[in-house]
A = this chain, B = another copy of it.
Amino acid sequence: MVRKGKSYDTKKIITQVKNTDLVEQKHHQIVQAACKLFSEKGYHKTSLRDISRESGINLSYIYKYISKKDDILYLFYQYISKKLTSFSDKSDDPEFENPVEELKSFIRGVFEGIRSIKGEALTMYTECRHLEKDSLRIVLAEESKTVQLIEVLIRRGIDQGYFHVQDSFMAANIISYMIPFYPLRGWNFRDQYSFEQIVELTTDFILNSLNVKEEHK
């Protein structure tokens, strides 16, 4: 039951500079600065002057590569989204023994990935409501894709008799919602568990919820 088949377009940011390579490079510089600053003080408290200073690009010149501040937030999201997607996209990986293994690998992958960008991830989940309508839709669509990916995996697991759940789509939603658990809730237990333990416990929690038999874990 894979729902939603919308086309997930990417919004093009209007730049005055045509040279695509350059644009990409500058955008990268800007995003790097944004990552740091947004993580430190959030989107609203980060001024374009801050970004200019941090990125080393002259304030007015930044406007050759974006057309408004909001574009930077979107750029930031694009960048983080891509990273997140790369963590969960294991299409090129070796075949898995079974869906349980695959899910475990998936969870570990995204947890490790998201841990590597902890600050940014927090920012991401925290500032997304300030995206413009357009950008927000695109970002959410991206998230939707992850949910679909998980659902496919779950359905396969169900078909093969490993998972037992009432509703694969809702399960997928919940699991995808678990992804930023570590950066968002870490503060409450980070000093009591190692990262390894957290992954393990969370994975166990999820597998249980999918009614995976003990012997398949």
Interface stretch of the complex, out of A22-30, A86-94, A100-108, A166-174: A166-174
Q: Name the B residues within 8 Å of A42 (CB-CB).
A: 44, 129-130
CA distance A206 to B209 in the complex (A): 6
A178 within 8 A of B: yes
B170 and A189 form a contact (CB under 8 A): yes
Interface stretch of the complex, out of A7-15, A72-80, A110-118, A197-205: A197-205
Q: Nearest chain-B residue to A192 (Cβ)?
A: B3
Task: Type the 1/0 row for A21-60, where 1 means its CB is closer than 8 Å to any CB of B.
Answer: 0000000000000000000001011000000000000000
A167 and B201 form a contact (CB under 8 A): yes
Question: Chain B's nearest CB lies how many Å from the CB of A121?
Answer: 12
Q: Nearest chain-B residue to A123 (Cβ)?
A: B129
Question: Chain B's nearest CB lies how many Å from the CB of A52?
Answer: 12
Q: Name the B residues within 8 Å of A138 (CB-CB).
A: none
A98 within 8 A of B: no
Q: Name the B residues within 8 Å of A205 (CB-CB).
A: 165, 170-171, 174, 209
Which of chain A's residues 149-167 have a Cβ closer than 8 Å to chain B? 165-167
**Residues in A lying within 8 Å of B, measured CB to CB:** 3, 42, 44-45, 122, 126-130, 140, 143-144, 147, 165-167, 169-171, 173-174, 177-178, 181, 184-185, 187-189, 192-193, 198, 201-202, 204-206, 208-211
